[in-house]
Amino acid sequence: MKYPLSRPDITRKEIDAVRRVLESGRLSLGPQLAEFEKQLANVAARKEAIATSSGTAALHLIMRALDIRAGDEVITSPLSFIASTNCIEYVGAKPVFVDVLEETACIDPAAIEQMITSRTKAILAVDAYGFPAEYRELRRIAREHELYLIEDSAEALGAAYEGKPCGSFGDASVYAFYANKPITTAEGGAVLVNDPGLARRVRSLLNQGRELTDDGWGERHEELGYNYRLSDVHSAIGREQLNRFETIRKRRRQIIRWYQEAITRLEVPVTVPSPYELDDPSIFSFVTRLPSPGLQEAVTRALARDGVQSRSYFYPIHLQPWYRKKYGYRDGMFPRAESWGASALALPLYSGLTKKDVGYIAGCLKLALADESIQARIR
Ligand SMILES: *Cc1c(COP(=O)(O)O)cnc(C)c1O
């Protein structure tokens, strides 16, 4: 495909950094990891960042570190990547879905309080598409009901809410660094916290539940842990990505602006979600909403013929076969999440795109939507 959905922004700097680590003989738990964590804490405005082997691992560690377990409930959004709900299942707790806001695709604070029971332990908010959730209201609810607030900012590095970075709002928050995320370490993630006790617990759990000693290799295992470590090789990539973060962020914002302009200029009949108008918008992906539900497949096929990759994103979690089967969820239960799921289409977003490329992609989208068979299905 000439225009893939995403392509990592890797330069000589990342390649040289990886080579240096490989030549150093110290591939794990070394100086790159410690420095990467410092840089991450800094961009997230946090006291501590703990790097992990994936975003999913980071979410699982938070569940364990907050002692969320069987019998507990966690209120969350069904419009997300499946990992944000799977982590609740990993510890035997029950995800309780509430619908999202039409404007932001994030959890609707007004729908939360009626779902709180004596078993509720936490609210897990997701910055869907990298759009910030309503943290002012979410924090108020969490405080009033003595619940933890967990923030899945896996897609939201580089976005801000009321002037503060996404990743800074939860009792614990998560970033992820898979190859399609705003910055990448190939695979990787991080837990972001301010509480030193919580940070220590996460650090121990990710290294087999070891007691924390200066060299990191204590012999006593205090509890059942995991190997969710991030290697120094991966950390070196992350450091270089963060060194270039302002450049990457500016470039991705510019491309999003070009998309907005091209869609307006060409009168492409799609809706651009309003969070792209924020001062520090999401740089994760560029999603538009098609004029009717159920057009995604046909549009994706038409765009592919023009060399443009696109995809519908997200498929609501309550409608995933595993969750349907376990909890008996049906279509229509969370209509706004389902409406996003049936109309959102992600378009290519990566540093290498030029203004001309973006104009071409927007033009292809307009043509695809003008097709008779699609026009007939627009209600
Ligand atoms: C990518 C992602 C994750 C998980 O990250 P991995 O590194 O792929 O495990 C979690 N939540 C959301 C919303 C994501 O987009």
**pLDDT tens-digit map of 107-124:** 999 999 999 999 999 999
**pLDDT tens-digit map of 140-172:** 999 999 999 999 999 999 999 999 999 999 999
Closest CA to 237 of 179, 191, 157: 179
Q: What Cα–Cα distance (Å) separates residue 17 from each residue in 20, 166, 237, 300?
A: 5, 27, 7, 38
Which residue among 5, 63, 152, 206 has the greatest number of ligand 1 atoms within 8 angstroms of its CB, and so is best to mutate? Answer: 152
- Average of per-residue pLDDT across 279-300: 96
Cα(297) to centroid(ligand 1), Å: 23
**How much is the pLDDT for 373?**
86
Which residue among 5, 54, 56, 100 has the greatest number of ligand 1 atoms within 8 angstroms of its CB, and so is best to mutate? Answer: 56
The strand ranges marked E within 230-362 are 286-289, 311-312, 344-347
Cα(58) to centroid(ligand 1), Å: 9
Where on the phi/psi map is residue 158: left (φ > 0), alpha (ψ -120 to 50), or beta? left
Which residue among 178, 192, 287 has the greatest number of ligand 1 atoms within 8 angstroms of its CB, and so is best to mutate? Answer: 178
Q: Which residues line ligand 1 (CB under 6 A)?
A: 54-56, 80-81, 83-84, 126, 152, 154-155, 176, 178, 189
Cα(134) to centroid(ligand 1), Å: 20
CA-to-CA distance for 295 and 244, rounded, in angstroms?
A: 38
Cα(377) to centroid(ligand 1), Å: 33
Tokens of 202: 């996460």
Cα(236) to centroid(ligand 1), Å: 20
**pLDDT tens-digit map of 321-363:** 999 999 999 999 999 999 999 999 999 999 999 999 999 999 9
Ligand 1 atom with minimal separation from the 284 CA: 15
Ligand 1 atom with minimal separation from the 188 CA: 7
Cα(42) to centroid(ligand 1), Å: 21
Tokens of 61: 């560690």
**pLDDT tens-digit map of 37-58:** 999 999 999 999 999 999 999 9
Cα torsion 370, 261, 347, 294: sign: negative
Does the pTM surpass 0.85? The reply is: yes
Cα(84) to centroid(ligand 1), Å: 7
Ligand 1 atom with minimal separation from the 178 CA: 7
Cα(250) to centroid(ligand 1), Å: 23
